[in-house]
Amino acid sequence: MEGTEGTQQPHLVLANKLFLLTHSDVDDIEKVRLRDEVMSTVVADDMAPLYETLAASSVLELDQKVLDSMRAKIAEELKKLDEKIADAEENLGESEVREAHLAKSLFYIRIGDKEKALEQLKVTEGKTVAVGQRMDLVFYTLQMGFFYMDFDLISRSIDKAKNLFEEGGDWERKNRLKVYEGLYCMSTRNFKKAADLFLDSISTFTTYELFPYDTFIFYTVLASIISLDRVSLKQKVVDAPEILTVIGKIPFLSEFMNSLYECQYKSFFSAFAGITEHIKLDRYLHPHFRFYMREIRTVVYSQFLESYKSVTIEAMAKAFGVTVDFIDLELSRFIAAGKLHCKIDKVAGVLETNRPDAKNALYQATIKQGDFLLNRIQKLSRVIDL
């Protein structure tokens, strides 16, 4: 399951095609092409277990002859692999035995038999001594986790990898793990941690088996925009040479990032519309589409209002290139949800900001906690008196 440098792991390419096949925004002509490509990959890799699952869910049509042919090839290949394991155990050394078991693990991964692949990887791990090689087995498990979007398996594997690194391990694998963990955090809506991990990996990125470098930069920028303050965003993202060399190749992303930082809100909304299409069609970001849309709008509206004590709704609508009714409805929702610290004077058509004072908030919290503590002491004193 390991991709060579610059090449995405084929099973993850397949997973993306399967995601697009079930997506309502993908047109029917494109789905016909995708279905043919998926079928070709399934047949080429003898993925009988996956084929049965896809046929049961009506993603692919079941062809019994094709399925029987795949099963026959799998049985034949497993027989050969078992013979190699037996021969290695009888006539060869521990290293050859491990390699034979690993080959069987990779075969189960290739055909899409998750349970048997995990069982065989455990057997292989029992035959493995070197930390680096054990770490590689964890990476195989993580790739399976992302194929099936099994977040429990991914979480356990990341914890296992971190424990292995306490025993040793090289920097290259440690840096790769950061990208895997970052993708897991992003997929589970922890954008702040994902941004930190991705930014740490920009200059050392070698995890091409997960996604191309362009996609990595796309994820890094999106996660950073809603996680970092303006100063950090400028230092780590806007001026980062690694990002600048790639960002122009990704549609709308440069305009999206720079217009936000330079407060060109009309251009930002234009790029924002283009970026939403990319997010909708991304299998890792799609489940968080609505959340991300809310968060990025919170960031941009807060940034605009930061400069004003009060501003007319009309002026704000003009800055964003939208109607007064639209901005009024938008702000009402965000204010009600506690995302924006301002109030709307509908009669005067004015927005008045009421940014919270951090020191005052701390003072109020201290008073509240002090009152709570005094009440507890009084109750305790009554019990002691009795």
The 3-state DSSP class for residue 234 equals helix
Nearest CA to 222 among 181, 252, 187, 257?
Answer: 257
| pTM beyond 0.75 | yes
193, containing H or E segment: helix 191-201
Please check the confidence at residue 6 and state whether its pLDDT lies above 70.
Answer: no
Q: What percentage of the chain has pLDDT greater than the value 70? A: 96
Q: Give the pLDDT score at 2.
A: 43
Position 58 confidence tier, pLDDT thresholds 50, 70, 90 = confident
Q: How far from the centroid of its chain's Cα atoms is residue 41's Cα?
A: 25
Please check the confidence at residue 285 and state whether its pLDDT lies above 90.
Answer: yes
Average pLDDT of span 180-203: 93
pLDDT tens per residue across span 105-132: 999 898 888 898 999 888 888 887 788 8
- Reading the block at residue 2, the tokens are 């390991």
Q: Give the pLDDT score at 4.
A: 40
Say which residue, 168 or 76, is predicted with more confidence. 76
Q: Judging by beta carbons within 10 Å of its beta carbon (0-12, 13-18, 19+), is residue 318 exposed, middle or buried?
A: middle
Start-to-end CA span in the chain (Å): 71
Q: Give the pLDDT score at 371.
A: 82
Please check the confidence at residue 361 and state whether its pLDDT lies above 70.
Answer: no
Q: Give the pLDDT score at 180.
A: 94
CA distance 170 to 301: 44
Interior angle at CA 24, CA 20 and CA 28, nearest 5: 75
In this structure, are residues 198 and 176 in contact, taking their beta carbons and an 8 Å threshold? Answer: no
CA distance 351 to 341: 10
